[in-house]
Amino acid sequence: MNFVEPIRDKEKLEELKALLKKQSARNGFLLNFGINTGLRISDILPLKVADVKNKTHIVITEKKTGEPKRFKINQALKEAIQSYITGMSDDDYLFASEKRAKPITRVRAYQILNGTARKIGLNEIGTHSLRKTFGYHFYSRTHDIATLQMILNHSHPQITLRYIGINQDIMDEAVDRFSL
């Protein structure tokens, strides 16, 4: 398992969004959905249209923890969902494979995200980067570590800060300012 980073640079994030959307509606929506929910890829890929259609919340049982999770769908994501699912039936997978009647695999999702990110000079990007990107930008905007800790289901604020790369940013900045 490789260590992956959040996508910190908003311009690079927009560039990645555009490139993935150009590849396919599914690929663009995968990024958009992941960075707006902070859910793990293992919880995103099995979702069907009925799980999100006309809903205010995504309700799942987390694969990793076995815990129930209820996540609010923000207005921008609601609009993206509505646009994306037009013409789809309730039992269609949101992230359907083109080759079989199942969702894409975690490996395929990684290939899509990592391969496209590399084209624009982003390294250390994987499926978990979606969740980390959500966390990084949520914290950057709100500085509310307690709420983010609850959203990500972490046991301690320090874990959350390390997870989203804030500790690394602080260390990098300190070293940049230091010299002998």
Active site residue 64: yes
Whole-angstrom distance, CA of residue 126 vs CA of residue 69: 23
Rounded CA gap, 54 and 86, in Å?
12
> Which candidate in 26, 40, 132, 137 is catalytic?
40
Q: Does residue 84 carry a catalytic annotation?
A: no
Is residue 128 annotated as a catalytic residue, yes or no? yes
N-to-C CA span, the chain: 37
Out of 26, 48, 131, 132, pick the active-site residue.
Answer: 131
Q: Based on the residue annotation, tell me whether 137 is a catalytic residue of this protein.
A: no
Catalytic status, residue 8: no
User: On the CB side of 5, how many CA atoms lie within 13 Å of its CA?
Assistant: 13
Of the candidates 64, 70, 99, 100, the residue annotated as catalytic is 64
Strand partners, 96: 103
> Which residue in the list 26, 132, 137, 154 is annotated as catalytic?
154
∠ Cα 52 55 57 (to 5°): 90
- Is 106 an active-site residue? no
Q: Out of 26, 48, 110, 128, which one is annotated catalytic?
A: 128
- Active site amino acids: 40, 64, 128, 131, 154, 163
